[in-house]
């Protein structure tokens, strides 16, 4: 599956995409530990992100164990950083880099109809959930209840953004009545 972060998140404003989420403050000077939800270059120094609706320039970014340690303009002490805990870093959807043929961002999958390779309707993608291990799950809600589909090539056979559909492999144990 050739999807790319960022994914959709309920707390993100319309027309924006989450590119990171503040995990916690770091140190005393307002540095933030951020779980990235997009490509690393989105969090490069000199770029801008929105935090709590305010546009902020990224002053510095360093990476450690898959997390970004960011210094944002205007967040200068630990108390200010603490107030940012669990907030999303957003960018306007139009600022995302265009993708190649057959590639898409995860937020584009929300609302698409999902069916199995055998033609069974599973419902629609409600969200793309991060698992914490660098993988994502499609959360599909429909007649079978909530179905979690790993967002990997072995399970996701075809994504048709124009047609509004996703075809997934029929795998024993995937659907609630199969368990």
Give 74-99 pLDDT, tens digit per residue: 999 999 999 999 998 999 988 877 77
Q: Say what the pTM is.
A: 0.63
Looking at every residue in the chain, the average pLDDT score rounds to: 85
- Would you list the domain boundaries of the chain? 3-95, 110-178
Higher pLDDT, 137 or 72: 72
Residue of 81, 83, 85, 70 whose CA lies nearest to 30: 81
Question: In this predicted structure, what is the pLDDT of residue 159?
Answer: 92
Q: Which tokens in the block code for residue 177? A: 């009545």
Indicate the CATH number for domain 110-178: 2.30.30.240
Indicate the CATH number for domain 3-95: 2.40.30.60
- What is the distance between the alpha carbons of residues 146 and 169, in angstroms, rounded to a whole number? 16
Strand partners, 25: 32
Give the phi and the psi of residue 140 in degrees, each rounded to 5. -110, 130
- What is the distance between the alpha carbons of residues 137 and 128, in angstroms, rounded to a whole number? 6
Q: Does pLDDT of 17 surpass 80?
A: yes
Give the phi and the psi of residue 79 in degrees, each rounded to 5. -65, -45
């Amino acid at each position: 599956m050739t999807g790319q972060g960022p994914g959709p998140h309920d707390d993100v404003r319309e027309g924006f995409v989450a590119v990171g989420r503040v995990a916690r403050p770091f140190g005393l000077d307002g540095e933030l530990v951020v779980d990235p939800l997009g490509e690393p270059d989105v969090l490069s120094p000199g770029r801008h992100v929105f935090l709590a609706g305010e546009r902020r320039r990224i002053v510095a970014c360093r990476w450690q164990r898959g997390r970004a340690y960011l210094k944002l303009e205007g967040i200068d002490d630990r108390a200010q950083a603490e107030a940012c805990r669990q907030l999303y870093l957003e960018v306007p959807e139009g600022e995302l880099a265009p993708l190649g043929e057959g590639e898409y961002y995860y937020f584009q999958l929300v609302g698409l109809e999902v069916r199995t390779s055998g033609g069974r309707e599973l419902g629609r993608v409600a969200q793309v959930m991060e698992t914490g291990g660098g993988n994502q799950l499609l959360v599909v809600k429909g007649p079978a209840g909530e179905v979690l589909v790993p967002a990997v090539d072995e399970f996701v056979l075809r994504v048709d953004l124009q047609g509004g559909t996703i075809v997934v492999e029929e795998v024993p144990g995937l659907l609630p009545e199969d368990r």
